[in-house]
């Protein structure tokens, strides 16, 4: 996950997936 500042592991995993998805979309657009 790219979101490393989130202390909670579950939140980091959830947010990380969203951020990775956004970055993937940005890279493809």
So where are the chain's domains?
1-29
The average pLDDT across 3-28 equals: 78
Euclidean distance between CA atoms 21 and 29, whole angstroms: 12
Copy the structure tokens of residue 24: 């993937």
The pTM for the full model equals 0.44
Q: What is the pLDDT of residues 16-28, one digit of tens each?
A: 889 899 999 998 8
The average pLDDT across 1-16 equals: 68
Give the pLDDT band of residue 29 (cuts 50, 70, 90). Answer: low
| C-alpha to C-alpha distances, 29 to 15, 21, 22, 26, nearest whole angstrom | 21, 12, 11, 5
pLDDT number for residue 8: 67
């Amino acid at each position: 996950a790219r979101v490393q500042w989130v202390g909670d592991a579950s939140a980091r995993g959830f947010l990380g997936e969203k951020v990775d998805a956004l970055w993937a979309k940005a890279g493809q657009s």
